[in-house]
Amino acid sequence: MNIGVIGGGAIGLLLSGYLGRNLDVTLIVRRLEQREEIEHKGITIHTSESSISTSVNVRQLTGHSLDVDLLVIAVKEYDLASLKEWIETLHPSQPLLFLQNGIGHLDWVKDLPHHTLLVGSIEHGAFKVSDHTVEHRGKGKINVSIIRGDYKILEELLSNSTETFPFYYCDDYEEMLLKKLFINVLINPLTAITRVPNGELVNNTYFHDIQLSLYKEMLILFPNMKDIISLEEIQEICITTFHNRSSMLKDIESSKVTEIETIVGVLLQKATEENHFLPTMNVLYMLVKGIEFEAQGG
């Protein structure tokens, strides 16, 4: 199976490093410096137990398409805008797998002309150390679901699942993405503001109460999810990832733009359109945006 991966960030490196051990993987990056670094050194993945290095094909993003069985788009949702024109020029027969947080990109993805479209949600914790090195800080799984198209591609991907880097099939892509969204909303903004690891959200009574408020507000928007994901499940994730620092917190600590727009901003827009008022979510959104503003020099 030939797989192309777009994105030289933490998730792109993690995917390419693990999948490249058994499959023909081509990582597509933007910068010449990163391409040369990976060409010379491969991709290194550090875990708490060991380190592995994998040689993969690497090329820069150009106007040329890539002949692969599956193309994985592993950039953050706010980076999709710069790729839209290129993705839309890919031949409709090219299967695509999108791995983004949030649901803001979903309507655009469904409108693409491609015959086979898949989406996924990632439960791994990863931190990019350098252009060719990533720390695998939280081992989880990648859930994958199909919007439409050829199930053979999905079956082949699942057949290459390993104990170290597993893939799981979900039959309802909207439910899968909403479950991940509930988790992101209840963890990421709160850890980004308080600067604490995931586990402290459960240990601290005040943070716990904010999570409860956020959960209730999410159910206002998505009442059908009440029996799909509980507050207790999300808090269990906080416990199992006790020492992990969320991706949004790491972005704040690095003075980078966060995914607050794609995780919370789109929900506040939905709330406005449906005449709902979500005070807790609104305050967290403004606080994260304010921190971003200060980090960019005001």
> Tell me, what CATH number does 22's domain have?
3.40.50.720
- Whether 129 and 273 map to the same domain: the answer is no
Which pairs count as long-range contacts for 37-42, CB under 8 Å and 24+ apart, including other chains?
37/130, 37/131, 37/132, 38/8, 38/131, 38/132, 41/132, 42/132
- Whether 148 and 8 map to the same domain: the answer is yes
Q: Which CATH number does the domain housing residue 212 bear?
A: 1.10.1040.10
pLDDT, residue 298, reads: 65
- Whether 17 and 112 map to the same domain: the answer is yes
Q: What is the dihedral of CA 136, 140, 145, 151, to 10 degrees?
A: 80
Strands 70-73 and 96-98: parallel
Catalytic member of 180, 250, 270, 289: 180
Token reading at 129 = 């150390």
Strand partners, 134: 45, 128
Cβ-count burial 107-141 (b if 16+ within 10 Å, e if not) = eebeebebebbbbbbbbbbbbbeebbbbbbbbebe
- Whether 63 and 184 map to the same domain: the answer is no
- Whether 145 and 216 map to the same domain: the answer is no
Q: Where among 137, 171, 205 does a domain terminate?
A: 171
Strands 2-6 and 142-148: unpaired
54, containing H or E segment: strand 51-54
Give SS3 for 60: strand
- Whether 34 and 156 map to the same domain: the answer is yes
- Whether 151 and 234 map to the same domain: the answer is no
How many domains does the chain divide into?
2
Task: List, for residues 168-209, the tens digit of each pLDDT value.
Answer: 999 999 999 999 999 999 999 999 999 999 999 999 999 999
Is 226 assigned a catalytic role?
no
The CA-CA-CA angle for residues 47, 10, 164, to 5°, reads 40
pLDDT, residue 63, reads: 66
- Whether 159 and 229 map to the same domain: the answer is no
Q: Which domain holds residue 70?
A: 2-171
**Which pTM was predicted?**
0.93
Phi first, then psi: what are they for 271, rounded to 5°? -60, -40
pLDDT, residue 295, reads: 84
- Whether 262 and 162 map to the same domain: the answer is no
- Whether 159 and 259 map to the same domain: the answer is no
Q: Where among 118, 152, 171 does a domain terminate?
A: 171
pLDDT, residue 297, reads: 75
Token reading at 285 = 């959104």
- Whether 235 and 161 map to the same domain: the answer is no
Q: Where among 171, 194, 228 does a domain terminate?
A: 171
pLDDT, residue 57, reads: 96
CA distance 211 to 217: 10
pLDDT, residue 67, reads: 85
- Whether 216 and 69 map to the same domain: the answer is no
CA distance 210 to 106: 28
How would you write the pLDDT of the chain (298 residues) with one tens digit per residue? Answer: 999 999 999 999 999 999 999 999 999 999 999 999 999 999 999 998 899 999 999 999 876 678 899 999 999 999 999 999 999 989 999 999 999 998 999 999 999 999 999 999 999 888 899 999 999 988 889 999 999 999 999 999 999 899 989 999 999 999 999 999 999 999 999 999 999 999 999 999 999 999 999 999 999 999 999 999 999 999 999 998 888 889 899 999 989 899 999 999 999 999 999 999 999 999 999 999 999 999 877 6
